A and B are shown apart, each in its own frame.
Chain A
Amino acid sequence: MNDVYRKLVDLYAGQELTEELEAELEAVALTDPELKTDMLTMRATVEALRSEPAPEFTEESYQRVLMRLYAKGVEAQRSPDPTHLQLHLPIQG
């Protein structure tokens, strides 16, 4: 496979090609098994990577980080919610 196709496959894998170029590349791949394999495996690799679940920033982790900051003498208080998120209850009585 030449360098131009290799670069096109890199762009194809990350879905960075225009629809027209993607269709053209797929058409060429129909008659080029090596190109087709590279396109499929590269796109599958990027999809597998992007579908990795995000590590969860749990409340326990949140608190442990705060504790580490406190331990180093930092006053890092949990900030109050911004006013647009605060509930305003009507005054009764």
Chain B
Amino acid sequence: MPNDALRDSQAEKRWLDALAKGDPNALGGIYEMYGDRIFRYTYRMLGNRSDAEDATSETFLRVLRRSSELRADGAFRTWLFRIARNLCIDKLRQHKLLELPADAQYSGSEERTTLRVTVQQALQDLPIEYRDPLVLCDLEDMPAREAAEVLKISVPALKSRLYRGRRALKDKLGAAMEIRR
């Protein structure tokens, strides 16, 4: 195990033990470790900062409420992402969030900016069963086995959705992809 991963794993175990003992600093420690990743994931799923902040806070609130279920055996991160995902799905059902994020900021040349906005928009337009694997595997760089556990599906099913999702994204991007060739 690389040193960083080992250190993170030890820190995670320490904070989870502390949480189980009712240490008031524990949730802060877990938030320091995972807040950034959960925020990024929820932002990419929901497409705007405010909803992502809301889903992030609710995710950590649920960690606290369900701390009796916690296990410091490496499954915590999967469990955390699963909570965040369920919250995102609830929010998407509530709001049908399909419009472009109002606060999105992109940099670079006009052509690249256009492409990024297009990719972001196309991603938001994809059905959730395709968006999920693309966000977890291609954007969050999560290993397929772990992403499959988050989504509660088999690895072959995840790969199938990932490949179909990429093809659906390609179809939506159509014209922009032609420009790049």
Contact = CB atoms under 8 A, between A and B. Distances in A.
Are A and B subunits of one complex? Answer: yes
B80 interface: no
B115 interface: yes
B75 interface: no
Most chain B C-beta atoms within 10 Å of own C-beta, residue among A46, A65, A77: A65
Interface string B4-31: 0000000100010000000011011101
A42 B168 CA distance: 10
A52 B119 contact: yes
Nearest to A7: B163
B60 A69 contact: yes
Contacts of A50: 138-139
Interface string A19-54: 000000000000000000000111011101110111
B49 A55 contact: yes
Interface string A57-93: 1000110111011001011111110100000000000
A52 B43 CA distance: 13
B106 A64 contact: no
Contact of B31 (A13, A41, A42, A65): A65
Given A52-B119, A53-B106, A55-B49, A45 B27 contact: no
B138 A55 contact: no
Contacts of B106: 53
Contact of B29 (A10, A46, A79): A79
B93 interface: no
25 contacts: A7-B163, A14-B138, A41-B170, A44-B181, A45-B173, A45-B177, A48-B176, A49-B119, A49-B169, A52-B139, A53-B106, A53-B116, A55-B43, A61-B49, A61-B53, A68-B57, A69-B61, A72-B57, A74-B61, A74-B64, A75-B24, A76-B31, A77-B25, A79-B15, A79-B29
9 closest cross-chain pairs (CB), A and B? A68-B57, A55-B43, A79-B29, A10-B163, A75-B24, A45-B170, A57-B36, A77-B28, A79-B28
Interface of A: 7, 10, 13-14, 40-42, 44-46, 48-50, 52-55, 57, 61-62, 64-66, 68-69, 72, 74-80, 82
